[in-house]
Amino acid sequence: MCVSSAAGVCSSSVEQKIYVELNETVPCVRLLNATHQIGCQSSMSGDTGVLHVLETQSDLDWILSSGPHPPYMVIMETAFFNRSVMMRMKNSSRVSGVAVIVSKTGLAQNFSPHTTCPNQNTGVYGSELANCNVTVWNPLGNGLSYEDFSFPVFALKDENQTQVIRKCYEDHNQRVNGSAPHYPLCAMQLFSHMHAVTDTVTCMRRTDLQNRFSINPEVLCDPLSDFNVWTSTRPLNSSAKGHAANESVVIAAARLDGRSFFWEQAPAAEGTVSGIITLLAAIQALYPVTQEAPPPRNIFFTFFQGEAFDYIGSSKMVYDMEKNDFVIDLKNVHSILEIGQVGLHSGRSLWMHSDPVSRKNDSVNEAVSEMMNRMESAAAGLSVSVGHPSFSQPLPPSSLQRFLRAGPIPGLVLADHQKSFSNRYYESMYDDAENLNVTYPPGLTPDEQLVYETDAAKSLAEVATLVARSLYLQAGGENNSLSNITADPKTVAQLLYGFLVQKNNSWFRSLLLSAGPGPPQFYIGLGPRIHGPVHSVTRFVQYILANLTGTVTNLTESQCQNPSELSTENKDLFSYFWVSGPASVNSTGEPFCVRASVRLSEAVSPAFELLEYGSRNYSTWTESRWKSIRARIFLVASRELEVMQTKTQQNC
């Protein structure tokens, strides 16, 4: 008889006796590019294995050679999640899956699953300077994110759930005095079957076949895509594409995304957030001065999405500029300043990286040297200093490399590392607030934490001031206006809190309807075609920019949606945002309309527009589709009991 539960939902009570569903699951999914597949795959009906917790070396031997109940589902303590152990698991037939406990206890001093030489094939360098011949950028990288595993790997982030699994293991699977445990044993089943195989070319070919010949086409993979965010000090007419007359533009760029081994987990604090916040604070500092005393050149700020995956956003923007499909083109670009990883300089100096190959050209060399001088003079009077690494060192992985592929443009990449990255957790799940030393004293309410100025906030504000002043000088502004350009540490503190600790805070809520708890994750994802409107991080940056640089208008909601009907508003020059307004204790905020010159531009790799899925020049990264990703634990009986049950009916 089916006994209904308290919720009134009648489910099979036998199933409830057998399985414990694990709800908080973080899988590793399969990604494909032109030639390879990376990530993890389970079989179609899930992979089952007897649980074993990997805490000591003898556990590793038990799993790989001596345990009597293979295949095993390994519960891996944090300390064992490294390349050597994972490679041994990969080569063993006794492992049916891995669940990694994600915690700070036992975490090694460094952990970066990315490669040692990020984006080496899609940068600007040929064979002499590519492949990190001169400087290995990420020496601590173990390349795990780019391996192909044929078993599922999940991350256990929820402490309560890990406790449930541990209890089941301790009750049933513990070894008593070195002897093997008895049946029934605790086991786990992981489902993460991926539909795409081999590489993007194969997957897109199969998808095209499905779309053409099947009544119910089944898409197998989707290209990674989202939007870049850009704005400028003087509004640009977005309907006029191609070369903009009389515009000489200084581009200030930062990246918007990160990644880690697991799907949609990318706190990317030092790798990405430091750059975003610096540029946002610099924009806020620059904007009033550029309206009062406008410099000769326009300053174009842009945030590129998808840079972790072979420069998706920047390659698309350069491609559009080359095809005259963007508001400016490459001849409009005067120089480029890119903000790289700037969070860990802590009293040491920042470094201006430049490209030695383009500097062989005298005019470019002169322009770059001038840029460095301007930056050094802007740093005078600030507590941060700048230096330049040796001339022959190539650029670190940066969006500037894609611009240089199109032609020699003077540019600098500002970073906190002279040679290799200072970031010990580059593109991993552990590159979080703690990595940037963003900690709050205990006992503060969330609203107090939002405005609390940590040391990291103050130091990033200094960097932002430096960037803003350098950009003003680079755009031809006057020296005497420089002292008015100062980044606000309070804004930086709020941005740090919102991007690293809690995205559901009162400031973000006043800008737009907010998302769930916790910090935002910076993985690019599949964009608006799949996930509805714009990815949350892109939307946050867009609305924050509108908040920092826009003007409040008194348009009504319908006028805000359709401003072209009004003669005073210009939809070509500006975007209009309907914003919720600050909420107080008693009431929700009064919404209003903000006009800003903030725009989005598509960030899809040109390879998918050109249908060159095996392209060597552009990013070809796609993410596989799947039906269900879940995990559950249960007991398994011995084979003897199962066989006895069949034998019983034979003898009856």
Partner 1 sequence: MTLAVFFGCAFIAFGPSFALFVFTIAREPLRVIILIAGAFFWLLSLLLSSLVWFIAIKASNSQDPSLQRGLLIFGVFFSVLLQEVFRFAYYRLLRKANEGLAAISDDDSSAISVRQMAYVAGLGFGIMSGAFSMINVLSDSLGPGTVGIFGDSQYYFITAALMTLALTLLHTFWGVVFFEGCEKSRWWVIAAVVSLHLLVAGLSLLNPLYEGSLPPVYVITLLMGVWAFFSSGGSLHSLSALCTRKT
Beta carbon of residue 418, minimum distance to partner 1 (angstroms, whole number): 54
CA distance 240 to 250: 19
Asked if 652 is part of the footprint of partner 1 (rule: CB under 8 A), the reply reads: yes
Asked if 184 is part of the footprint of partner 1 (rule: CB under 8 A), the reply reads: yes
Helix (H, G, I), strand (E, B) or coil at 113: coil
Q: Output the six-digit token pair for 565.
A: 């009907």
Cβ within 8 Å of residue 214, ≥6 positions away: none
Beta carbon of residue 631, minimum distance to partner 1 (angstroms, whole number): 13
CA distance 60 to 643: 31
Beta carbon of residue 637, minimum distance to partner 1 (angstroms, whole number): 4
The bridge status of strand 298-304 relative to strand 225-232 is antiparallel
Q: Output the six-digit token pair for 257.
A: 């995304």
CA distance 343 to 457: 9
Asked if 640 is part of the footprint of partner 1 (rule: CB under 8 A), the reply reads: no
Which residues ranging from 185 to 224 are in contact with partner 1 (CB under 8 A)? 186-187, 189
Span of 11-19, 74-82, 140-148, 443-451 interacting with partner 1 by CB under 8 A: 11-19
Among 168, 268, 282, 512, binds partner 1 (CB under 8 A): 168
Asked if 246 is part of the footprint of partner 1 (rule: CB under 8 A), the reply reads: no
Question: Closest CB to partner 1 among 245 and 652?
Answer: 652
Span of 22-30, 179-187, 200-208, 340-348 interacting with partner 1 by CB under 8 A: 179-187
Among 146, 452, 578, 634, binds partner 1 (CB under 8 A): 634
Question: Closest CB to partner 1 among 84 and 649?
Answer: 649
How many residues bind partner 1, per CB under 8 A?
Answer: 35
Question: Closest CB to partner 1 among 12 and 57?
Answer: 12
Looking only at Cα atoms, what is the longest distance across the chain?
Answer: 101
Phi-psi region of 476 (alpha: psi -120 to 50; beta: other; left: phi over 0): left
Span of 15-23, 240-248, 357-365, 594-602 interacting with partner 1 by CB under 8 A: 15-23
The bridge status of strand 47-54 relative to strand 72-76 is parallel
CA distance 155 to 173: 21
Asked if 628 is part of the footprint of partner 1 (rule: CB under 8 A), the reply reads: no
Chain-centre distance for alpha carbon 310: 13
Asked if 44 is part of the footprint of partner 1 (rule: CB under 8 A), the reply reads: no
Shortest CA distance to 40 belongs to which of 193, 187, 170?
A: 193
Span of 2-10, 234-242, 366-374, 379-387 interacting with partner 1 by CB under 8 A: 2-10
Instruction: Find out whether 482 and 386 touch, Cβ atoms under 8 Å.
Output: no
Beta carbon of residue 40, minimum distance to partner 1 (angstroms, whole number): 20
Which residues ranging from 430 to 469 are in contact with partner 1 (CB under 8 A)? none
Beta carbon of residue 536, minimum distance to partner 1 (angstroms, whole number): 37
Which helix (H) or strand (E) is 213 found in, with range?
A: helix 200-213
- DSSP annotation of 593: E
Among 17, 292, 480, 585, binds partner 1 (CB under 8 A): 17
CA distance 446 to 172: 42
Span of 66-74, 81-89, 561-569, 628-636 interacting with partner 1 by CB under 8 A: 628-636
Helix extents (H) in 411-454: 446-451
Residues lying near partner 1 in the complex (CB under 8 A): 1-4, 6, 8, 12, 14-15, 17-20, 46, 48, 168, 184, 186-187, 189, 632-637, 641-643, 645-649, 652
